[in-house]
Chain A
């Protein structure tokens, strides 16, 4: 290590086996109350359907479970430990009040089929969040049903398809820029559209002339991320929307990067017809190690009839209700109403911020990114000099000369006490380092990050092998992913 890292030192790390390795017959962490109805003869009730044995399920005590999972937890990096600069993932602070209100009894124990008369609290939350998100996006209507961003994309494209279908022709293709997230093309395929790639121009934006040439009446929609995955705002967005609309196509916006826009500009105002949001990115619901997410889809009025059912309506007496009678709807995309617990949290975030806080949040996110960009420009290659909003993409071009790639720099960053940035994405930048600090980082934390990245760049020149072997300070060193995929071991089995 060139400089002593200021953020992290090694700490004691408990060894911990699999829970199955602690199990022995007769230990228990559970206790049921006495049965207040007669015991049943299971054999008589169930016959051949009765299960006799639960195999290798564990038998352990409560203290062992607490220690097991607490020890495992210490092997994770987390936002609570420090900066998590994953580009396009928007790893911001997850406020704790969100967790508290989501656990209030009436909300946590509300059954999705309980009568609407005693569901007014939940319906009010759905309605208030919907109203806020409609205002924030500048759209006209919304569904909260999709369970994650990719699920929102699926819903959005189903709506696109239903719209064209209603006009007599579902169309055949969806245009997707080469800088897009992998979920975009995967989603288009699920909705029966073929994918046509759209090349970026030298500034990293949509090549408007190429779009005009490619756009025809077979194209159902353009799926655009704005700002795109380089963090660049599509300045010619009005022309892009015009080109799409002139030939009857729709403009879909992937809202993954909405953290750059909230309170400053509204997609509905710049020509977007349909978009999804990621509540687990922009609106602070926790990532939880990979979910749950939530991917609401907002639309313009012309697309409203196609929203999934049910939708929330206000009845003449002022109470709220679900409306199921929606003949043009694309149908349901999920049982019940979506990831309600995430709605509670996202709305709590909006209430904590208010209009001034939301705007300041966006400004700080963009400010932080540009500070990091300034601090690392020249140390790492900046392939596009176009101004960036909430994230910035460097390349490993300068470090490649020493045989060190973006993935290696990322692993070395772990030794300095940071989670890596997003590696090798977007695909249009060879050897990409994609950095999104979010608004949650202080100047001090960012200075530590910049210092760490500079130090690694020096290490690459002086001792590249040390970087190639990183991380050096973690519980496990680099893991053999090739072996894991070649002969998959996907579950524990008792030693035979």
Chain B
């Protein structure tokens, strides 16, 4: 086996040194009746070339070469090539969690820079080293708010990513955290009056997303006022990190739970991604996850260490702020390098291109179908309502090697034939025009009273 650095003679020498007759001696502690006397039924050992071929085949079966209008918490942005050059260095790739600070300064300093840039972008005072993803970061942020306020219940915007809501429900299930929903209005924004009525003296926090699941930017200041007036905290989830380049960050929030996938992390069929929690300095001791702090060595030289570990499971065990241990360090490094590449000016220009593409697309779709929630500002996503089933539109579009917007029936049946479309800097005008033509074709056919031609509806 090519990964194992031993010859048969080496193995014999080791056994001899140990004083064992055969390798079986070393497995004697396992009761004989449980020892496996056969080969595992897994595929036979493969050559590297065979492995690469097998995966190339899987890659071809997986939408390779399709343009996409999908967003909804996972965004297709360009990844500058130096991200992979740098994270492929064995010193980053094959290092452990930086507990031994003297030989982990590379990882530690890069996390410190990551924390700094997340603070700059979110307007918060402290940020952690990462969480699993945006959904679990939101759930952990809510639990943090519960600890901070001593209150139990949570009000969640119905315009929060539906899968984030599901994760939160799972986490809340056994913790006695009652959850209630705050609806959205015809603007796509949260219903402020309903929100006000749903907050009571037991509400630990209000959790919203901005830009929300429909791409609409919430009036964070107004929501914060309502929450704070009743002693509740405001937690804001940000799923599309590139929005921070041109959208004012939710500075009025108490905790921000982010998904940094947009910052140079491949779509990768849903993961690994990079969650982050950012908050105010006064709340840092209730924050979950790892934190890197600056300090000095014996000679006064600047250095970095993992700090405030008394919050964490390996010290506090059942009294820890969270059970989180391994997080997303290498993915955070991707995000870190991405933020460094685009920086102060590039991130704004990148966000502006996203804004322009989505604005053009929404305007074009609007000529033939109904673009919902037109009055509030949005970033790079919007909802289009058609007369035709969006699955049918998408089936035709797939023939052009384009993946259409996400049909919303599963998550928001009340919106009817609606789909969530996303445009990034990667979306071409040609793709937009093709998609708009398909929608227009469907609308014409429906008006003419006949079904457009569809070759099997893919769901």
Cα–Cα distance between A366 and B11 once the two chains are bound (Å): 11
Over the window 149-166 of chain A, the binary record of Cβ atoms lying under 8 Å from chain B Cβ atoms (1 yes, 0 no) is: 111011000100100000
Contact check: which of A28, A118, A181 meets B403 at CB < 8 Å?
A118
- Other-chain contact of A78, B57, B94, B314 (Cβ < 8 Å): B94
- A-contacting residues, B128-152, CB 8 Å: 129-130, 132-136
- The proximity string for B residues 75-93 relative to A, scoring 1 for CB distances below 8 Å and 0 otherwise, is 0100010101111111111
* A450 CB to nearest B CB, Å: 10
A188 touches B248 (CB 8 A): no
* Cα distance, A341 to B271, chains bound together (Å): 6
Docked-complex contact B92 and A414, CB < 8 angstroms:
no
Among B5, B20, B329, contact of A370 (Cβ-Cβ < 8 Å): B20
A47 at the interface (CB under 8 A from B): yes
Given contacts A18-B109, A335-B163, A476-B303, contact A484 B293 (CB under 8 A): yes
Q: Is the CB of B91 within 8 A of A74?
A: yes
Proximity string of chain A (1-45) to chain B, C-beta cutoff 8 Å, 1 when within and 0 when not: 000000000000000101110010000111011011111101001
Is the beta-carbon distance between B246 and A51 smaller than 8 angstroms?
yes
Q: Report the Cα distance A330→B377, complex, angstroms.
A: 37
Residues of chain A within 8 A of B104, CB atoms compared: 75-77, 289
Q: Which residue of B lies closest to A489 (CB)?
A: B294
- Alpha-carbon separation in the docked complex, A411 to B90 (Å): 22
Segment from B61-69, B179-187, B201-209, B441-449 that makes contact with A? B61-69
Interface residues of B in 4-21 (CB under 8 A from A): 4-6, 10-11, 13-15, 17-20
Does A76 contact B107, Cβ atoms closer than 8 Å? Answer: yes
Of residues 450 through 496 on chain A, the ones whose CB sits less than 8 Å from some CB of chain B are 471, 474-481, 483-485, 488-492
With beta carbons under 8 angstroms apart, the residue of A60, A110, A153, A291 that contacts B343 is A60
- Among A119-127, A207-215, A296-304, A396-404, the stretch in contact with B: A119-127
- Kindly supply a per-residue 1/0 record for chain A positions 366-391, scoring 1 wherever the CB is within 8 Å of any chain B CB and 0 otherwise: 11101100110000000000110100
- For B340, the chain A residues whose CB sits under 8 A away are 19, 29, 58, 60, 65, 68
* Chain B residues closer than 8 Å to A445, beta-carbon distance: 5
Contact B60 A292 (CB under 8 A): no
Q: Which interface class (under 10, 10 to 19, 20 to 34, 35 or more) fits B?
A: 35 or more
Asked, given contacts A122-B62, A476-B101, whether A289 binds B80 with beta carbons under 8 Å apart, the answer is: no
Chain B nearest CB from A157 CB (Å) reads 9
B248-269 contact mask (Cβ, 8 Å, vs A): 1 or 0: 1100000000000000001111
**How many A residues face the partner with a CB closer than 8 A?**
199
Interface centre among B44, B57, B343 (most CB of A within 10 A): B343
Q: Are B353 and A371 in contact (CB under 8 A)?
A: no
CB distance from A79 to the nearest CB of B (A): 4
Indicate if B454 sits at the interface (CB-CB under 8 A): no
Binds A, one of B190-198, B223-231, B284-292, B365-373: B284-292
Provided the pairs A78-B91, A367-B14 are in contact, do residues A89 and B19 lie with their beta carbons within 8 angstroms?
no
- Please determine whether A191 and B325 come into contact, CB atoms closer than 8 angstroms: no
Say yes or no: is B437 at the interface (Cβ < 8 Å to chain A): no
CB distance from A24 to the nearest CB of B (A): 11
Within the assembled complex, what's the spacing in Å between the Cα atoms of A217 and B11? Answer: 48
CB distance from B360 to the nearest CB of A (A): 4
Give the residues from 266 to 305 in chain A that come closer than 8 angstroms, CB to CB, to chain B: 266, 269-270, 278, 280, 286-294
When A45-B355, A106-B59 are in contact, do A20 and B54 touch as well, CB less than 8 Å?
Answer: no
Residues of A with C-beta under 8 A to B92 = 69, 73, 76, 78, 288-289
Q: Decide if A352 touches B51 in the complex (CB within 8 Å).
A: yes
* A396-434, CB < 8 A from B: 410-411, 414, 419-420, 425
Q: A62-100 toward B: CB 8 Å interface, digit per residue (1/0)?
A: 100110111011111111110010100101011101011
Q: Are B105 and A475 touching (Cβ within 8 A)? A: yes
Q: Known contacts being A29-B341, A490-B126, is A51 close to B245, with CB within 8 Å?
A: yes
In the complex, whether B319 has a CB less than 8 A from a CB of chain A is yes
Given the known A-B contacts A341-B271, A344-B55, are A80 and B90 also in contact in the complex, defined by CB atoms under 8 Å?
A: yes
Q: Is A441 an interface residue (CB 8 A)?
A: yes
User: Is the CB–CB distance between A266 and B20 below 8 Å?
Assistant: no
Docked Cα-Cα span, A293 to B97, in Å, equals: 11
Segment 248-273 of A: residues with Cβ below 8 Å from B: 262-266, 269-270
In the complex, chain B residues whose CB is within 8 Å of the CB of A441: 5
Cβ of B452 under 8 Å from chain A: no
Cross-chain contact of A481 among B129, B299, B305 (Cβ < 8 A):
B305
Q: Tell me whether A46 and B327 are in contact (CB under 8 A).
A: no
Contact of A158 among B121, B173, B304 (CB under 8 A): B173
Q: Give B104's nearest chain A residue, CB to CB.
A: A76
CA distance A55 to B125 in the complex (A): 13
Partner of A76, one of B103, B136, B266, B349: B103
Interfacial chain A residues near B42, Cβ < 8 Å: 132, 135-136, 350, 354-355, 358
Which of chain A's residues have a CB closer than 8 A to the CB of B248? 48-51
Q: Does A312 contact B (CB under 8 A)?
A: no
Q: Are A115 and B36 in contact (CB under 8 A)?
A: no
Q: Do residues A332 and B102 form an inter-chain contact, with CB atoms below 8 A? A: no
Partner of B167 from the list A33, A335, A352, A425 (CB cut-off 8 Å) is: A335
Contact B325 A387 (CB under 8 A): no
Confirm or deny: A148 has a beta carbon within 8 angstroms of a beta carbon on chain B. Answer: yes
The answer to whether B169 touches A331, judged by C-beta atoms less than 8 angstroms apart, is yes
- Picked from A57, A94, A95, A439, the residue with its CB within 8 Å of the CB of B347 is A57
List residues of chain A with CB within 8 A of the CB of B270: 112, 335-338, 340
Do B106 and A117 touch (CB < 8 A)? no
> Is A328 on the interface with B (CB-CB < 8 A)?
no
Q: Do A118 and B66 touch across chains, with their CB atoms under 8 A apart?
A: yes
Q: A18-B113, A37-B432 are in contact. Are A238 and B317 (CB under 8 A)?
A: no
Please name the residue on chain A nearest to B75 by beta carbon.
A111
Establish whether residues A84 and B96, one from each chain, have CB atoms under 8 Å apart when the complex forms.
Answer: yes
Q: Are the C-beta atoms of A351 and B62 separated by less than 8 Å?
A: no
B19–A107 contact, CB under 8 A? no
Chain B proximity of A340: nearest CB distance (Å):
4
Contact between A114 and B68 (Cβ–Cβ < 8 Å)?
yes
- Asked whether A440 lies within 8 Å of B271 as measured between CB atoms, the reply is no
Bound together, the chains give a CA A477 to CA B308 distance in angstroms of 20
Which of A269, A336, A443, A483 is within 8 Å of B271, CB to CB? Answer: A336
B97, closest chain A residue (CB): A290
Beta-carbon contact of A105 and B272 below 8 Å:
no
In the complex, the answer to whether B342 meets A30 with C-beta atoms within 8 Å is yes
Contacts of A278 in B (CB 8 A): 326
Known contacts A266-B36, A360-B4; A352 and B96 CB within 8 A of each other: no
- Kindly state whether residue A393 has any CB partner on chain B within 8 Å: no
What residues of A have a CB within 8 angstroms of the CB of B440 in the complex?
none
**Residues of chain B within 8 A of A122, CB atoms compared:** 58, 62, 269
A-B contact pairs, 20 of them (CB 8 A): A29-B346, A30-B341, A51-B249, A65-B337, A76-B95, A76-B104, A91-B96, A101-B55, A104-B58, A148-B327, A266-B34, A292-B271, A292-B331, A342-B272, A351-B50, A414-B102, A419-B100, A481-B305, A491-B112, A492-B113
Nearest 8 interchain pairs by C-beta: A288-B330, A336-B270, A354-B45, A80-B90, A106-B64, A121-B62, A106-B59, A112-B270
If A20-B116, A40-B356, A290-B328 are given as contacts, then 6 extra A-B residue pairs at C-beta distance below 8 Å, sorted by A number, are: A28-B346, A50-B246, A161-B174, A354-B42, A411-B100, A481-B295
